[in-house]
Amino acid sequence: MNATDLTGKAAIVFGGTAGIGLATVRLLIERGARVLAAGLNSSDARVALAGVGDEASLLWREVDVRDEAAVSGAVAAAAEAFGRVDIAINNAGVESSFGPVQDAQQDEFDKLMGINLRGIWLGLKYEIPHMLAHGGGAIVNTSSQAGVAGIANVALYTASKHAVVGLTRAVALENAIHNIRVNAVAPGPVDTGLLHRMVDGHIPVSVIADSVPMKRVSQPAEIAEAIVWLASDAASYVTGHVLVADGGITAA
Ligand SMILES: NC(=O)c1ccc[n+]([C@@H]2O[C@H](COP(=O)([O-])OP(=O)(O)OC[C@H]3O[C@@H](n4cnc5c(N)ncnc54)[C@H](O)[C@@H]3O)[C@@H](O)[C@H]2O)c1
């Protein structure tokens, strides 16, 4: 059997309603998994998810990953609907404002860490006990190129994404013996709303594209391929890894 085939697997994707997360939901379903997609903005999300899967393969739930009860409720809902959760993708994240660190305000710090770091921790907190009780699973957290290298003018975002790498490695070690693999993906620039919002008015996306060795930004579907590979049995001996998909930026 093809180890990337996900027939019979059940997944939850936090931040699964736009950009990279939406592309991941689509690919998981194409490969045969059933998916609970969780994210903000129910009306936008329903439009985005329409046609991605049918009632049997796709559930939707409005979740703010800062809300512990909502996160635990989403994991419980996926487990109840599908009988188990084999795959968890902790992808929800937000951009920072663009500028020097001294210009950032405390509420922005709290928002970034609350979503990009605390939200991922909350996902892990409720996914892991479920996977321990069911004999294992695979978790992928979304970090960033900014999680493995410094990026000027987005220092708080950079800090939040470095923290995701640390969390991923430590939790991978805690769970290696329990058949739970925990990895992270570290994308370079991806053509999503987040990228455009983050640099709008500061750097044209075409200039960013030109700075990439491959001379382009990526598409969400390309990052979804990396995430779904890490989540699949094809990556059965891979844990605590940060898969950089950045068109060569950090090779320099
Ligand atoms: N776009 C890029 O260039 C890029 C590069 C590296 C890493 N990333 C990371 O990829 C992930 C996805 O980003 P994207 O580019 O697809 O952005 P996006 O804005 O297109 O999608 C973000 C998703 O996260 C969800 N989300 C945001 N805040 C949330 C919250 N409080 N609770 C629950 N869900 C929430 C949204 O509903 C949406 O589904 C983020 O973690 C981001 O930091 C993006």
Per-residue pLDDT reduced to its tens digit, 176-204: 999 999 999 999 999 999 999 999 999 99
Q: Which pLDDT tens digit goes with each residue over 122-149? A: 999 999 999 999 999 999 999 999 999 9
pLDDT at 26 > cutoff 70:
yes
Cα 169 from Cα 156, distance rounded (Å) = 20
The rounded Å distance from CA 192 to ligand 1 centre is: 8
Burial class of 225 by CB neighbour count within 10 A (0 to 12, 13 to 18, 19+): middle
User: For residue 202, what is the DSSP state?
Assistant: T
Q: Is 157 a catalytic residue?
A: yes
CATH of 10-251, one of 3.40.50.720, 3.30.9.60, 3.40.50.2000, 3.30.70.20: 3.40.50.720
For 50-85, write each residue's pLDDT tens digit. 889 888 899 999 999 999 999 999 999 999 999 999
pLDDT category at 1 given cuts 50, 70, 90 is low
CB within 8 Å of 140: residues ≥ 6 apart: 87, 88, 89, 90, 91, 183, 184, 185, 227, 230, 231
- Mean pLDDT for the stretch of residues 202-211: 96
Rounded to 5°, angle at Cα 220 from 219 and 221: 90
- Domain definitions of the chain by residue range: 10-251
% pLDDT > 70, the chain:
100
Residue nearest to atom 14 of ligand 1 (CA): 19
Q: Is 15 in the pocket of ligand 1 (CB under 6 A)?
A: yes
